[in-house]
Amino acid sequence: MNILKSVSRSFFLSLRLLPLPMREPVSLAYLLARTSDTIADCTAAAERKSGWLRSFEEALAGAAGADFQGLADHTSATGEKLLIRHVPELIAAFQSCPKETRDMIEQVVRTIISGQSLDLSRYCEATMDHPKALASREELDDYTWRVAGCVGEFWTRIGIHTLGEGFSRANPDLLCEAGIRYGKGLQIVNIIRDLGGDLRQGRCYLPVADPMDRAAMIAERAWWIKQAKLHLAEGIEYARHLRGRRVRIASGLPASLGLKTLAMLEAQHGSAMSTRIKIPRSEVYRSLAALLASSLSRPAR
């Protein structure tokens, strides 16, 4: 839990709320995904990052001798350095999971890595002066599936696997579809929130013809804010279909925080896109308290 707390701020609260049978595999999956995210975001050259991602995938598949030498030197956050030091233990914990659980974790982590690998190839030559944008809304939708929508599906599958009807009595396929849209919505929030920082690195996830065209960026940003609102509203509805009180609150908290973040982003009116919005810790706890007092505290049928 010390590693989890060091690399996650609000999601750590969701993980702590989960019943133990679900919490353990979800926490492990999160830390493995966060490891690949640390690799993809480190300061090393794209080629070296791609090599580390391949080594990480091979380690998940059971290959011995994965070498992440030097990775910690390319990360600055204390939590990420701690995480990297514990990669061998995370791999060992993953390999000791029951096969069905291991397969679900491996599938979601591999899907996330596929999105990160696409990023490395797409933006390898992009710079702040010559940013590159995604080609279409469909391309962005695919990216949000790879790095977050798949997490909504995993959350649903692992919940059903570990808790059975204690997780939900809703149709599993329909619940997975809602979970996918929920995950996509959370990633859209991240993209809009990080727009300025990404542009400084030459990355533009919004599909515009010219990332330097401010009017086009503002219009596209507004369109995706509306999409994110729809997805996160479905995330709240998703949580209402879950049966355990702790699971409902854990599942609904990211949507609640995401909607608050969108409200703050809308208040910018596109005039301060370079300013990164961050929900204060006090607001995170207020949101948690509000959910505890809301209809999400009442059991689903």
**pTM recorded for the entire structure:** 0.92
Among 124, 159, 174, identify where a domain stops.
124
Among 124, 146, 177, identify where a domain stops.
124
The two structure tokens encoding residue 281: 């810790």
Q: Are 145 and 204 within one domain? A: yes
Whether residue 301 has pLDDT greater than 90? no
Q: Are 164 and 282 within one domain? A: yes
Confidence class for position 105, pLDDT limits 50, 70, 90: very high
Which domain does 251 fall in, by range?
A: 126-301
Percent of the chain with pLDDT over 90: 75
Average pLDDT on 153-174 reads: 97
Q: Are 212 and 118 within one domain? A: no
Q: Are 216 and 266 within one domain? A: yes
Helix H or strand E segment including 120? helix 99-122
Q: How high does pLDDT run on average in the chain?
A: 91
CATH at 192 = 1.10.600.10
Among 124, 145, 172, identify where a domain stops.
124
C-alpha span between 165 and 36 (Å, rounded):
32
Q: Are 119 and 243 within one domain? A: no
Give the count of domains, the chain.
2
List, in sequence order, the alpha helices (H) in 164-244.
172-193, 195-200, 214-240
Residue scoring higher pLDDT (67 or 45): 45
Q: Are 103 and 164 within one domain? A: no
pLDDT of residue 187: 98
Q: Are 245 and 132 within one domain? A: yes
Q: Are 253 and 149 within one domain? A: yes
